[in-house]
Amino acid sequence: MLAMRHMAGNFVCPAARFAYNSGSRAPACATQAARPLGEFMILDNVGIQKILPHRYPFLFVDAVLEIERLKRIVSIKNVSINEPFFQGHFPGKPVMPGVIIIESMAQTGGILLMSEIEERDKKLFFLAAVDESRFRRPVVPGDQLRIEVTVLKWKIKFCKLQAVATVNGDVAAEAVLRCMLVDRETPASSDAPATDAVGVRDE
Residues ≥6 apart with Cβ < 8 Å to 171 = 136, 137, 164, 165
| DSSP calls for 152-199 | EEE-SSEEEEEEEEEETTEEEEEEEEEEEEEESSSPPPTT--GGG-TT
**Cβ atoms within 10 Å, residue 101:** 24
CA pair distance 91, 76, nearest whole angstrom: 25
Per the residue annotation, which of 54, 89, 123, 157 is the catalytic one?
89
- Nearest-CA neighbor of 174 among 98, 113, 110, 112? 98
- Is residue 89 annotated as a catalytic residue, yes or no? yes
CA pair distance 117, 159, nearest whole angstrom: 13
Residues ≥6 apart with Cβ < 8 Å to 50 = 28
Active-site residue set: 89
